[in-house]
Amino acid sequence: EPEVTQTPSHQVTQMGQEVILRCVPISNHLYFYWYRQILGQKVEFLVSFYNNEISEKSEIFDDQFSVERPDGSNFTLKIRSTKLEDSAMYFCASSYWPGPSYEQYFGPGTRLTVT
Amino acid sequence: DAKTTQPPSMDCAEGRAANLPCNHSTISGNEYVYWYRQIHSQGPQYIIHGLKNNETNEMASLIITEDRKSSTLILPHATLRDTAVYYCIVTGGATNKLIFGTGTLLAVQP
């Protein structure tokens, strides 16, 4: 069964460093998302991406964050200058088509630890 | 904020049906009801979704009331591996982002 994959599974970085989290969405999916979950808190929407453009973003997704689809298979989240409060699980998701009738499938997540 | 209300926790005996309720009294006509679950800190797992009609797949059944203000997720034969946090999410209209609440922690007991 096709699945979303994410690398690395755990990333440790120092405050102020740039970090790139990588995702490979399901191959025929066209709509991509990033969510995050701070330990013990709710899963939060960050950004959605379709047709090489950001479709929607939350207030969390400020200028320190960016997303990119560098090739036909990868989808990345970059945090330019990490802060302690960026420590969280980051989940990538994809859906076949934009629109709420199409379910989103989540990857296993990348645990980001900022020290 | 989440548009749904769920009990914080429920217990279920292994092998019995688990019925998880959700209230979404402000749902709009073009919004869908989705159910996801999360086991420990794993990625949320899609279970089922529906608009108006009841739905069934290999994992679960979704019963939506006629007025669409509430729904029930049914796991027909719960196993220990079904212990997880279950999220009921309403999405649609101008967005398809998922807004997660705190969900229901389902504990399946042996």
C-alpha B45, offset from chain centre: 11
Q: What's the rounded Cα separation, in Å, for the pair B74 and B76? A: 6
Amino acid at residue number A29: H
How many angstroms separate the CA of residue B18 from the nearest CA in chain A? Answer: 23
Per-residue pLDDT of chain B (110 residues; tens, 9 = 90+): 668 999 999 999 999 999 999 999 999 988 999 999 999 889 999 999 999 999 999 999 999 999 999 999 999 999 999 999 999 999 987 778 999 999 999 999 99
Residue B1 has a pLDDT of 63
The verdict on A94 touching B (C-beta cutoff 8 Å) is no
Give kind and range of the element (H or E) at residue B93. none
Residue B3 has a pLDDT of 87
Stretch A41-62: mean pLDDT: 95
3-state class percentages of chain B: helix first, strand second, coil last, to nearest 5:
5, 50, 50
Residue B95 has a pLDDT of 77
Q: What's the rounded Cα separation, in Å, for the pair A31 and A69? A: 11
Q: Which residues of A touch B36 (CB under 8 A)?
A: 106
pLDDT at residue A8 greater than cutoff 80: yes
User: What residues contact B58, with CB distance under 8 A and at least 6 apart?
Assistant: none
Q: What's the rounded Cα separation, in Å, for the pair B11 and A34? A: 32
Nearest Cα residue in chain B from A35:
B98
Stretch A35-44: mean pLDDT: 96
Please give the angle made by the CA atoms of B47, B48 and B52, to the nearest 5 degrees: 160
Q: What's the rounded Cα separation, in Å, for the pair B81 and B91? A: 27
At A2, is the pLDDT very low, low, confident or very high (cuts 50, 70, 90)?
confident
At A47 the three-state DSSP class reads strand
Residue B2 has a pLDDT of 65
Q: Which of B43, B51, B97 sits opposite A107 (nearest CB)?
A: B43
Residue B92 has a pLDDT of 87
Which of A1, A5, A43 to probe the B interface (max B CBs under 10 A)? A43
